Structure 1
């Protein structure tokens, strides 16, 4: 999901846009149409079973409110998951400071052409796939806590370095390393979420989790734009984001230092 949305979708969009401007929008429309066709072809009834009589919208609304409150209440009384939600939100907010400036960084600071930007951003897709491939091995070898903190440190170091260099190839490699590190972090967080949350509460807790993480993205993008305006260059925003991500890594270590984030590996 992360690789497709963040690191592959952008480069493919850039490359298709270079062919003609409407191309990525047409691809998006075709993808949605294909998804709708696949959903329509699924057999079976997937509606949730409720005790209320059909058409009793007031009871259904009350049940939804009860479900949300129960998910929030469970999360509030689980210190580890609550801390992981905060960590995930901080990573999302701070990393988006820089990621929202990626196009400006590539075109202005690295002086890349529009077509070359697609190749540059594609390094992130490759790095994300590498991160997804090695995440489980890193967790098994070093444990979830150390891997989580190390991944956050890797995110910070790579963005800080991107803010200090102006060589396109080096920056592309650093961006790929960032993508690998952020995917490893997200694999750990998702694993912890799915193993620590009871099955009957997973959807409710996941709703809270995604509200925090996805809600942080536009805020981070807005702050990134303001920061670039104040500091003068996207590179400075990348450097600042890197420093802040290192701070988030410190927060993560302090928050989970007495907890094992993921369960021990089972053969």
Structure 2
């Protein structure tokens, strides 16, 4: 199977397309939240349900999606998923123009986009080892994460500015066009993936293929620890992220531009974290980098409830706390994420990548709809700020599963667990 270096024009095409896709996604995420909170006056429970609609698909189809993606060409899977997302998002501005937009439509579009995103994301995380040689996996992931954060940097700020002039549903058009651009860039990207690299489409094998992916994650000691850590991390991070728009726009009283600015400041931290990860790897162990990243993210998560306390008397201070907190949180999160993604990709056989990534996402992203609903319910029952403190406390526990991961690697357990049959 032929591959292309990170310096090749071919990789740059893929890289550019994903940068645009990430840009649109960040614009769309903010516009969707503002549409719900500001235009449709959604309460905490409705915001929680909207977050759940975006991620519940990982629980429903995450595992079979991994087995299906292993049987399909990764690039084609991402292409059609990107096109489907573009068409789904276009529905919302059309409904807004006709006066028929409601929370039901937001739930439906979030669910559809979530379903196709499962296939896109599993294919995406399985595609880098197909596209570049093994020695370029970490640099490729660092570049992709860096520009994803650059897109996140510009996207929310631009969306916030635009929403001072036009309505949030109109801004969703940018999201749709970005997905279309991703489709076109993928269409001109080349790779050497062959039918022989795919898992066979044996009738009746779907359940066995899913079980094979789950067993690999369970039996591979490093990946097992990462799955537990990420599952706990995403649960509590989602609780916080679900209520941040409510905190910023309703509890403290900022507008959509400030919410976008907070997300942009977080993206600056993300760029720094993604740039630091490969350099840190040259000096420190993966366990040290990931542990420091998670603890840094947990520490700065406390900025959200602290800003609410400050907001009662000093909104400038509250805004400053939110900006600094989001910056520090994403520095830590990206240090962790770039390192763990590269580690997983190196440890997994290529024809198991889809099932491995889907199994991980089933655990990690499958916790998110539960967390979003829990955040909405708790936000209504005990208040937004107490719920945020629960998220902060839980975030600290995310480092526990990986504190000894360096010893596991040093003992030689990082080699892929024996799989009964590798196809």
Question: TM-score band, normalised by the shorter chain?
Answer: 0.7 to 0.9
Corresponding position: 1:259 with 2:405:
no
Q: Which residue does the alignment assign to 2:13?
A: none
Q: Deviations over 1:6-42 (max 9, x none)?
A: 6725554444333322332211222233333344456
**Cα 1:63–1:46 shift into 2, 3 Å:** farther
Alignment-derived partner of residue 382 in structure 2: 231
C-alpha distance in 2 between matches for 1:187 and 1:195: 13
Q: 1:151 aligns with which of 276, 288, 293?
A: 293
Higher mean C-alpha deviation, range 190-199 or range 16-25: 16-25
Structure 2 CA distance for partners of 1:139 and 1:17, relative to 1, 3 Å: same
Aligned-residue offset at 1:92 = 0.9
**1:145–1:257 contact (8 Å) kept in structure 2:** yes
Which of 187, 195, 199 is the aligned partner of 1:48? 195
1:241 equivalent in structure 2: 391
TM-score normalised by L of structure 2: 0.54
**What do residues 136-158 of structure 1 show as CA deviations (whole Å, max 9, x unaligned)?**
22233221112211211111111
Q: How many residues align?
A: 254
- Secondary structure, aligned partner of 1:259: helix
State yes or no: 1:92 paired with 2:234. yes
Give the CA deviation at 1:51: 9.7
Instruction: State the Cα distance separating 1:246 from its structure 2 match.
Output: 0.8
> CA RMSD of the aligned region, Å?
2.9
Contact 1:145 1:259 in 2 (8 A): no
CA contact (8 A) 2:295 2:396 kept: yes
Aligned counterparts of 2:161 and 2:210: Cα–Cα separation in 1: 41
Q: Is the aligned partner of 1:19 residue 2:165?
A: yes
- Offset at 1:260? 3.8
Corresponding position: 1:28 with 2:175: yes
**In 1: Cα distance, 2:342 partner to 2:191 partner:** 29
Work out which of the residue numbers 369, 373, 391 in structure 2 matches 1:218. Answer: 369
* Distance in 1 (alpha carbons) for counterparts of 2:383 and 2:239: 14
Secondary structure at the residue paired with 1:20? coil
1:119 to 261, 271, 289: 261
How far off is 1:45 after superposition?
A: 9.3
Contact 2:230–2:398 under 8 Å retained in 1 = no
Structure 1 gap ranges (5+): 53-58
